[in-house]
A and B are shown apart, each in its own frame.
Chain A
Amino acid sequence: MLQRLIAAVLGVLGLAAIALGIASATAWRGDDTLTADAVAADGTTLVTTAPGVLELEDAPVTVRASAEGAAKVVVAVGRDTDVEGWVGADAHTVVTGLSDWHSLTTDDVPATPTAPADGTAPVEGAPTAPGPDPDGSDLWVVQATGEGAAELTWTPQEGRWTVLVASTGDGAAPPAVELSWPRTVTTPWLLPGVLGGAVLVVVALLLALRSWRTARDPRAGWHPVVTGATPVVGPGGRPDDSPTVVLSRREMREAAAAAAAAAAAARTAPSVASRLRSRATGENPTVTVPHAGGSTAMGVAGDRDPDAAAPVTEAAVASGAPDRPAAAGPAAVPVGTPEATPAPGASATTATSGAPAATGRAPDGPAVGAARTVPGAPARPAGPGRAVTTPTGAPRAPASSAGSAPTPTGSAAPTAGPRPAPAGPSSRPATTPGTTTPGTTTPGTTTPGTTPTAARPDAAVRDVPDVPAATPSATGVSRADAWRRAWGFPGTTPPAAGESGTGTDDDVRRAADKEEDR
Chain B
Amino acid sequence: MRPVRRVRTTRATGVALALVAALGLTGCSPELPVPVPAAAPAVPPPVTTIEQTDRILQDVGAVLTAGDAALSAADLPRRLSGPALAVRTAEYAVASATGGARPVTAVPVAAQTLVVPSTTQWPRTQIVVTEQPDDLTSPRLLVLRQDTPRAAYTLWGWARLLPGAQMPPTATPAVGSAPLAADEPGLVATPTDVVAQYADVLSNGDASAFAAGFAAPDPYRQQIEAGRARYQGVVAEGTGTFTETYAPVPDQLFAHATADGGALVVAGMTTSSTLAVTGSSLAVPPELAAVSGGALPAGAVLRNNLAFTYTDVVVFYVPPAGAGTPVRVLGAEHFFTSASGS
Q: Is B52 within 8 A of A141, CB to CB?
A: yes
| Surface stretch bound by A, among B7-15, B32-40, B96-104 | B32-40
Chain B residue at minimum C-beta to C-beta distance from A95: B35
Knowing A51-B35, A97-B34, A98-B32, the reply to whether A138 touches B146 (Cβ < 8 A) is yes
A53 within 8 A of B: yes
Q: Which of B28, B38, B44 contacts A24 (CB 8 A)?
A: B28
B19 within 8 A of A: no
Knowing A86-B150, A158-B38, A189-B28, the reply to whether A138 touches B56 (Cβ < 8 A) is yes
Q: How far is A100 from B32 in the complex, measured between Cα atoms in Å?
A: 7
Q: How far is A138 from B152 in the complex, measured between Cα atoms in Å?
A: 6
Which residues of B are found within 8 Å of A136, using beta-carbon distances? Answer: 152
Number of interface residues of A (CB under 8 A): 35
Interface residues of A in 164-206 (CB under 8 A from B): 186, 189
B336 within 8 A of A: no
Q: How far is A398 from B154 in the complex, measured between Cα atoms in Å?
A: 143
Q: Is A85 within 8 A of B32, CB to CB?
A: no
Q: How far is A56 from B34 in the complex, measured between Cα atoms in Å?
A: 6
Knowing A55-B36, A56-B33, A85-B122, the reply to whether A137 touches B45 (Cβ < 8 A) is no
Which residues of B are found within 8 Å of A189, using beta-carbon distances? Answer: 28
CB of A95 to closest CB in B, whole Å: 9
CB of B78 to closest CB in A, whole Å: 10
Q: How far is A98 from B35 in the complex, measured between Cα atoms in Å?
A: 8
Indicate with 1 or 0, residue by residue over A65-89, a CB within 8 angstroms of chain B CB atoms.
0000000000000011110011010
Q: How far is A30 from B36 in the complex, measured between Cα atoms in Å?
A: 22
A4 within 8 A of B: no
Knowing A86-B150, A101-B32, the reply to whether A50 touches B37 (Cβ < 8 A) is yes
Interface residues of B in 17-76 (CB under 8 A from A): 28-30, 32-38, 40-41, 44-45, 47-49, 51-52, 55-56
Which residues of B are found within 8 Å of A30, using beta-carbon distances? Answer: 29-30
CB of A56 to closest CB in B, whole Å: 5
A108 within 8 A of B: no
B120 within 8 A of A: yes
CB of B155 to closest CB in A, whole Å: 12
Q: How far is A86 from B146 in the complex, measured between Cα atoms in Å?
A: 12
Q: How far is A186 from B33 in the complex, measured between Cα atoms in Å?
A: 14
B242 within 8 A of A: no
Which residues of A are found within 8 Å of B33, using beta-carbon distances? Answer: 34, 56-57, 98
Which residues of A are found within 8 Å of B45, using beta-carbon distances? Answer: 79, 159
Q: Is A50 within 8 A of B32, CB to CB?
A: no
Interface residues of B in 206-260 (CB under 8 A from A): none
Q: How far is A53 from B37 in the complex, measured between Cα atoms in Å?
A: 7
Tell me the number of A-to-B contacts counted with CB atoms below 8 Å.
71
Which residues of A are found within 8 Å of B153, using beta-carbon distances? Answer: 138
Q: Which of B32, B38, B150 contacts A132 (CB 8 A)?
A: B150
Which residues of B are found within 8 Å of A160, using beta-carbon distances? Answer: 37-38, 40
Q: Is B35 within 8 A of A96, CB to CB?
A: yes
Which residues of A are found within 8 Å of B149, using beta-carbon distances? Answer: 82, 85-86, 88, 139
Chain A residue at minimum C-beta to C-beta distance from B122: A85
Indicate with 1 or 0, residue by residue over B149-168, a CB within 8 angstroms of chain A CB atoms.
11011000000000000000
Name A's interface SS.
loop
Knowing A30-B30, A138-B146, A138-B152, the reply to whether A56 touches B48 (Cβ < 8 A) is no
Q: Is A51 within 8 A of B37, CB to CB?
A: yes
Q: How far is A81 from B45 in the complex, measured between Cα atoms in Å?
A: 10
A345 within 8 A of B: no
Chain B residue at minimum C-beta to C-beta distance from A88: B149
Q: Is B120 within 8 A of A55, CB to CB?
A: no
CB of B48 to closest CB in A, whole Å: 7
Knowing A85-B122, A137-B152, the reply to whether A50 touches B52 (Cβ < 8 A) is no
Q: Is A138 within 8 A of B55, CB to CB?
A: yes
Chain B residue at minimum C-beta to C-beta distance from A83: B149
CB of B45 to closest CB in A, whole Å: 6
Q: Is A51 within 8 A of B38, CB to CB?
A: yes
A52 within 8 A of B: yes
Interface residues of A in 220-257 (CB under 8 A from B): none
A28 within 8 A of B: yes
Chain A residue at minimum C-beta to C-beta distance from B40: A160
Q: Is A28 within 8 A of B28, CB to CB?
A: yes
Which residues of B are found within 8 Å of A96, using beta-carbon distances? Answer: 35
CB of B138 to closest CB in A, whole Å: 27
Q: How far is A28 from B28 in the complex, measured between Cα atoms in Å?
A: 9
Q: How far is A284 from B33 in the complex, measured between Cα atoms in Å?
A: 106
Q: How far is A51 from B35 in the complex, measured between Cα atoms in Å?
A: 7
Q: How far is A186 from B146 in the complex, measured between Cα atoms in Å?
A: 47
Q: How far is A51 from B37 in the complex, measured between Cα atoms in Å?
A: 5
Chain B residue at minimum C-beta to C-beta distance from A24: B28
Which residues of A are found within 8 Å of B32, using beta-carbon distances? Answer: 97-98, 100-101
Which residues of A are found within 8 Å of B51, using beta-carbon distances? Answer: 141
Q: Is B150 within 8 A of A52, CB to CB?
A: no
Which residues of A are found within 8 Å of B35, using beta-carbon distances? Answer: 50-53, 55-56, 96-97
Which residues of A are found within 8 Å of B29, using beta-carbon distances? Answer: 30
Which residues of B are found within 8 Å of A134, using beta-carbon distances? Answer: 150
Q: Is B30 within 8 A of A138, CB to CB?
A: no
Which residues of A are found within 8 Å of B48, using beta-carbon distances? Answer: 138
Q: How far is A86 from B152 in the complex, measured between Cα atoms in Å?
A: 11
Indicate with 1 or 0, residue by residue over B114-130, a CB within 8 angstroms of chain A CB atoms.
00000010100000000
CB of B116 to closest CB in A, whole Å: 12
Chain B residue at minimum C-beta to C-beta distance from A161: B38
Chain A residue at minimum C-beta to C-beta distance from B121: A85
Indicate with 1 or 0, residue by residue over A128-169, a CB within 8 angstroms of chain B CB atoms.
000010101111010000000000000000111000000000
CB of A51 to closest CB in B, whole Å: 3
Interface residues of A in 267-320 (CB under 8 A from B): none
Q: Is A85 within 8 A of B52, CB to CB?
A: no
Interface residues of A in 75-120 (CB under 8 A from B): 79-82, 85-86, 88, 96-98, 100-101
Q: How far is A52 from B36 in the complex, measured between Cα atoms in Å?
A: 5
**15 A-B residue contacts at CB 8 Å?**
A28-B28, A51-B37, A51-B40, A80-B37, A81-B44, A85-B120, A85-B149, A88-B149, A97-B35, A98-B32, A101-B32, A138-B52, A138-B55, A141-B52, A159-B38
9 smallest A-B Cβ distances: which pairs?
A52-B37, A52-B35, A51-B37, A85-B149, A81-B120, A86-B149, A56-B33, A138-B153, A53-B35
Given contacts A53-B35, A81-B44, A160-B40, 19 further A-B contacts (CB under 8 A): A51-B35, A52-B35, A55-B37, A81-B120, A85-B122, A88-B149, A96-B35, A97-B32, A97-B35, A98-B32, A100-B32, A136-B152, A138-B153, A139-B52, A139-B149, A141-B49, A158-B38, A159-B45, A189-B28
Q: Which B residues contact A (CB, under 8 angstroms)?
A: 28-30, 32-38, 40-41, 44-45, 47-49, 51-52, 55-56, 120, 122, 146, 149-150, 152-153
